[in-house]
Amino acid sequence: MKENKDVTILAIESSCDETAAAVVRNGREVLSNVISSQIDLHKLYGGVVPEIASRKHIEKINQVIEETLKEAGKTLDDIDAIGVTYGPGLVGALLVGVAAAKAVAWARKIPLVGVHHIEGHISANYIEHPDLEPPFLCLVASGGHTHLVKVEDYGKYEILGRTRDDAAGDKVARAIGLGYPGGPKIDRIAKEGNPDAVKFPKAKVDGAEYDFSFSGLKSAVLNYINGCKMKGESFDPADLAASFQKAVVEVLVGNSMKAAEELGISKFAIAGGVASNSALRAAMIEACEKRKMKFYRPSPILCTDNAAMIGAAAYYEYISGARAGLDLNAVPNLKLGER
Ligand code: ZN
């Protein structure tokens, strides 16, 4: 792709519990990436409390935007477009970022681009892999959602498989006594456990070959724990975490590789918070090497929610001519590929 001029984007992300802003040049070069995490606040309640998230975003958003511009050595005069996540996510949380983005766009007459959060996660791969171009397959996995996506072109997606299960990782972590957020804690403790200690069922969804379902697995883990308690036996949290993680990773890798083989696609990427899981990364590297496929993954800081990935996605939207009006609204259930 040839560009006459650099495009510098100020990106804003506030869909869940991170208030984030970044400055990104030409979709792939991150000039600054500021994230204000609320995790410590929500930890007290064992999960994200939407009302608290919104209030905290309001407190932080202007500060985070100012900080990211300063870190990038830029002012609003240097910004060519504002990119903002407008869905999916918590409606009250999304609204804060969308309102801030619209205010800046209106005040400074800067074009506004709405970005899909999952599209942002996928685009995190463009930042660290300058050679990555569509088409490729991407597994986007986070606490609450998993999507297997065929990236046909910039901004053009086909969802091959998905899950809408509740956050199985968080619930299992809580049952084992690890607390919130569950994913990173399971990853850490699983390293000391035996992944073959407990055999859990592999989740399969009838009729939708690439779909994922982890609610059955989650129930199996909870039943196992209850069974131990009733028999007065103790269980090893590390073994349980390792066995649960293995069952999840097998399904994620299995569906992903099946899709890649059937569609004949030789480039595979992962994205989303779960993409920083060390067992998943290791299993994906091995599976891709075995099939001589190229494997791409963002570094952990770009896997969890951030605005740099939104800036990457916004760039490709921007150069394709997409513009949002000042009537842009938060869409909590926004579908990937929907405008
Ligand atoms: Zn996310």
Contact assessment for residue 122 and residue 138, using Cβ atoms and an 8 Å cutoff:
yes
Residue 207 alpha carbon to ligand 1 centre in Å: 27
SS3 63: helix
Instruction: Report the distance separating Cα 266 and Cα 264, nearest Å.
Output: 6
Instruction: Report the distance separating Cα 101 and Cα 54, nearest Å.
Output: 15
Please state the pTM of the whole predicted model.
0.93
Contact assessment for residue 101 and residue 319, using Cβ atoms and an 8 Å cutoff:
no
Q: Is the pLDDT of residue 1 over 50?
A: no
Amino acid code (one letter) for 17 = D
Residue 115 alpha carbon to ligand 1 centre in Å: 12
Residues 108-164 have pLDDT tens digits of 999 999 999 999 999 999 999 999 999 999 999 987 789 999 999 999 999 999 886
* C-beta neighbour count of 44 within 10 angstroms: 9
Q: Is the pLDDT of residue 304 over 50?
A: yes
Q: Is the pLDDT of residue 2 over 60?
A: no
Residues 53-106 have pLDDT tens digits of 999 999 999 999 999 999 999 999 999 999 999 999 999 999 999 999 999 999
SS3 308: helix
Nearest Cα neighbor of 305 from 35, 22, 24, 32 is 35
Residue 335 alpha carbon to ligand 1 centre in Å: 14
Q: Which residues contact 170 (CB under 8 A, 6 or more apart)?
A: 46, 47, 143, 180, 181, 182, 183
3-state secondary structure 149-205: EEEEECCEEEEEEEECCCCHHHHHHHHHCCCCCHHHHHHHHHCCCCCCCCCCCCCCC
Residue 75 alpha carbon to ligand 1 centre in Å: 27
Q: Is the pLDDT of residue 229 over 50?
A: yes
Residues 259-299 have pLDDT tens digits of 999 999 999 999 999 999 999 999 999 999 999 999 999 99
User: What percent of the chain lies above the pLDDT cut of 70?
Assistant: 96
Helix (DSSP H) and strand (DSSP E) numbers for the chain:
11, 10
- Adjacent-strand bridge partners of 279: none
Nearest Cα neighbor of 90 from 14, 180, 167, 182 is 14
Residue 256 alpha carbon to ligand 1 centre in Å: 19
Q: How much is the average pLDDT of 9-17?
A: 96
Q: Which residues surround ligand 1, an ion (CB under 5 A)?
A: 142, 305
pLDDT score at 164: 62
Computed over every residue of the chain, the mean pLDDT equals 93
Instruction: Report the distance separating Cα 330 and Cα 220, nearest Å.
Output: 36
